[in-house]
Amino acid sequence: MAKYMTGQRKQMQDLFVKHPHEMFSAKEIEELIGNESVSISAVYRNLSELEDSGLVRRCSKNGSREAFYQYTGTEACKGHIHLTCKKCGKTFHMELEDTNALIHSALKYRDFSVDIAETVLFGTCGACKNI
């Protein structure tokens, strides 16, 4: 059954769609939306529902216990492993050919299967390496 699209959820989803390569904490989302109609509890409630529907993934950044959320509802996310820079936080999609090669390699290792939608590799992007 489809969930009713509340104004709060629409504002959050619009924020994620405009920034598909970024991860946000709940507090950052509240601040970026920046109006009284969206409380921190509404942000958490909507994040939970967006996560349950597969439109948002939750992860943590290296050295932080805080949860961060990224939109995964675009076609670009489907079937791609995410590469996230530990310095700037930007997320990239691994090329499909490279994703498939990595997945194939993992399958050979003890018949292990990988959940691509949940897979994030952390490292340092080229721009941050040169700083």
pLDDT in tens, 73-99: 776 677 778 888 888 878 888 888 888
Average pLDDT, stretch 12-30?
A: 88
Query: Do residues 30 and 24 touch, judged by C-beta distance below 8 A?
Result: no
Query: Do residues 26 and 12 touch, judged by C-beta distance below 8 A?
Result: no
Q: Which residues contact 88 (CB under 8 A, 6 or more apart)?
A: 125, 127, 128
Query: Do residues 84 and 120 touch, judged by C-beta distance below 8 A?
Result: yes
Average pLDDT over the chain reads: 82
Torsion of CA 59, 41, 88, 66, to 10 degrees: -50
pTM over 0.75: no
